[in-house]
Amino acid sequence: MAMEKAHKEILRTNRSTLVDNIGNIEDVVNGLYENKTITESMKEDILEGRTTKTEKKRALLDLLPRRGQCAFDDFFNVLIACSEYTAADCLKPGQGLAAMRADRPSAQSVPMVPQSATYVTSPVEDDLPRFWPDQHYNAMDVYVLPVPFEDQGMWNRFVKSGNADSYYCMQKNPRGRVLIINNEDFSTARNEKEMELEDRQGSHVDATSLDMLFDQLSFTTVLEKNLTKERIVSTLDKERQVNHDSYDCFMCVILSHGTGGGVFGVDGEVAYIQEITDMFNGQNCRTLVGKPKLFFIQACQGTKQDRGSAGTPDPSVSEVSLKFQKLGLKDETKSGSTQVQCETQTDSVAEENVGTRADMFVALATTPDYLSYRNTMRGTWFVQAITYIFQKYAHSEDLLSMMTKVNNLVSRGEIMGKGLKQVSIFNSSFRKKFYFFPGLKADVSREARPSNQIHPTNS
């Protein structure tokens, strides 16, 4: 019997993603031969009659629809057996990643090279994944963060944070508010202004994983989706006018296309980062004076491609082509020059007298003028790194230390065969150390602290 029409359509619509994400085509083809999905002559035609790995993958995808009703399920099972989880998830969404989590090794295991990235460098002497994005890490698997009850030094820092010492106070519950602006649908910019702004497939993974992460860190999250430039400004202005007296911190995350110094609204207009952060400075948001204000910007800052400085990439992993207009890894950039108009007013009177732009932290997914990268199934390199690092270290390290690790992790990503890299950056006017202190409460005495806290295994 012929393959079902629905299965043929899945193979057709996911062709580019499958080509980009199947890592070891030889193992896949041999697996299909062993379970008699394809014949020996077909196997030889694919593996010996084609020059490049890309050609071999395409030949297999051309052949499968003609191999009967069971070929689709056979293909899926072979992909799982070969640890090609991302490709398997294209065929049966959710099931491939579920199999990956079931097969995931312990934290002490050496991670496998992901199909979409590699890293060519000298040996790495730290406890971070050697390759990024790590195919064993799923940003949606946000576990309950460890609580640093047993760490006497951390407890002392937490106590001191309430006395305006050398640590920012992070004792309120909730700690603060997090505004997440997720721009995915850019059809307005394309239809009304004929701008080449593609929809940001996979951005929902970033937004959801960050929402879950900050919930675990005791923040109240507000999620806004597909905002024009005008609505970005008005939403931020509304947030600026919130009375933050009952909070210790404010965070803003913007996920969008970008250009030099700015982010795009879904209408193609640009909101500039400096003007966004200024809406929350000491003059314009009085209830946040003296409190940490964090901004995370996932967007390109130009059109340049960072090709690194390590020399020629390994030719053995040079078969995956970079096609930003198709599924898989995408750039986050387009051009624009419209200035944003910010209406700013002051609210209540603050007690602390500090510099207008003090206590600001801004992290960008990439360096000025360069691209950033996004996987349409797993999200961006930058946000994946944030969720990974914060889950693993928030109970023991301060923000600047963690963000240095984020920079390190993002820099390990590379588009295979193209040598394309990305480096995230941050700048800070913080005057104190910033710790999230996950799970700690100001009204819990040392004697009352639980002694049986569960510390989940880091994935």
Q: What pLDDT does 458 receive?
A: 37
Element at 82 (helix H, strand E): none
Residues contacting residue 310 through CB under 8 Å, at least 6 positions apart: 120, 121
pLDDT at 377: 85
Q: Assess whether 257 carries a catalytic annotation.
A: yes
Q: Which of 257, 285, 342, 455 is catalytic?
A: 257
Its pTM stands at: 0.64
The H or E element containing residue 233 is helix 229-240
Map out the domains of the chain with their CATH numbers. 5-103 (1.10.533.10), 152-428 (3.40.50.1460)
- The pLDDT value given to residue 212: 93
Per-residue pLDDT in tens (0 to 9) along the chain, 459 residues:
678 888 998 998 888 889 878 988 999 999 999 989 999 999 999 998 888 888 899 899 999 999 998 999 999 999 988 888 888 888 988 776 566 555 543 333 222 223 333 333 333 446 788 888 887 888 888 777 787 765 678 888 999 999 878 999 999 999 999 999 999 999 999 999 999 899 999 999 999 999 999 999 999 999 999 999 999 999 999 999 999 999 999 999 999 999 988 999 999 999 999 999 999 999 999 999 999 999 999 998 878 887 776 433 322 222 222 333 332 344 454 433 333 223 322 222 334 455 778 999 999 999 888 888 888 888 999 999 999 999 999 999 999 999 999 999 999 987 766 778 899 999 999 999 999 999 898 865 444 454 434 333 333
Q: How far is CA 84 from CA 63, 348, 435, in A?
A: 19, 56, 38
In the annotation, is 455 catalytic?
no
How far is it, in rounded angstroms, from Cα 363 to Cα 366? Answer: 9
Structure tokens at 324: 């930003």
- The catalytic residue among 169, 252, 285, 300 is 300
- What per-residue confidence (pLDDT) applies to 120? 34
The pLDDT of residue 350? 35
Cβ(319)–Cβ(52) below 8 Å: yes
37-49 pLDDT, tens digit per residue, is 999 999 999 998 8
In 3-state terms, the chain is what percent helix, strand and coil (to 5)? 35, 15, 50
